[in-house]
Amino acid sequence: DTEVTQTPKHLVMGMTNKKSLKCEQHMGHRAMYWYKQKAKKPPELMFVYSYEKLSINESVPSRFSPECPNSSLLNLHLHALQPEDSALYLCASSHTRGEQYFGPGTRLTVT
Amino acid sequence: AQSVTQLGSHVSVSEGALVLLRCNYSSSVPPYLFWYVQYPNQGLQLLLKYTSAATLVKGINGFEAEFKKSETSFHLTKPSAHMSDAAEYFCAVRSGANSKLTFGKGITLSVRP
């Protein structure tokens, strides 16, 4: 099974809302990733967790807050977002040095 | 440092024609190379990967790619295009112990009936 699941599929939120994106994998991967993707662009790395510890933060604004409760789950907490944050948010996982498997993404619209 | 170049933004082929999507990479150490496909409103799906074993790599859906170190290339090919191959294709490189993927800008493949 090479499935990464993400919920919700779509999310519309106002600039004062707090919401969370969720990602789950059961492949035994110990590395998990959040990416942001704008239309017709490649994914941009936001965060990397390795063995449930944050290992890379690509200078992401603090209105995005990641969390890795256990080795199978990855959350992205959102607060006070801006309209330019509207994008497809992708989660991925991998063995530490293996290929990354992506989820279907959450389409986020900030109004 | 590592980088990926995918020339052009759009390739259009007829159904049944050869598909060739070009990818050139730059890496200071032996690279790991990947091709991903993204269908509209979906995530990225791994097509194939090169990890220093065979230089000709076969992937899913009839795609294959050849690693050419002398040309720093990893071009993606498929002998006969299907309508269902229409999608966005990304080449990506990962170098050494760093787990970060560097993506090319992507290329849109259209298939004409």
**Contact in structure between B34 and B46 (CB atoms under 8 Å):** yes
Of B34, B36, B97, the CB nearest to A97: B97
B interface test, pick of A21, A36, A96, A99 with most B CB neighbours within 10 Å: A99
Rounded Cα–Cα distance for residues B78 and B44 (Å): 19
Of B32, B34, B100, the CB nearest to A56: B100
Say yes or no for a CB contact (<8 Å) between A102 and B36: yes
pLDDT of residue A20: 97
Query: Which neighbouring-strand residues pair with A4?
Result: A25
A interface test, pick of B2, B32, B44 with most A CB neighbours within 10 Å: B44
pLDDT of residue B54: 85
Which structure tokens are listed for A107? Answer: 């389409």
Q: What are phi and psi of A73, to 5 degrees?
A: -120, 145
Ranking A7-21, A40-54, A57-71, B93-107 by mean pLDDT, the lowest is B93-107
Q: By three-state DSSP, how is residue B71 classified?
A: coil
Tens-place pLDDT, residues B28-41: 778 899 999 999 98
Omega before A8 within 30 of 0, i.e. cis: yes
Q: By three-state DSSP, how is residue B77 classified?
A: strand
Residues of chain B short of pLDDT 50, as ranges, are none
Say yes or no for a CB contact (<8 Å) between A97 and B34: no
Q: Does A83 touch chain B (CB under 8 A)?
A: no
CA A4 to chain centre: 11
pLDDT of residue B41: 86
Say yes or no for a CB contact (<8 Å) between A31 and B99: yes
pLDDT of residue A2: 67
Which residues on B lie below 8 Å from A102 (Cβ)?
A: 36, 43-46
**Contact in structure between B40 and A107 (CB atoms under 8 Å):** no
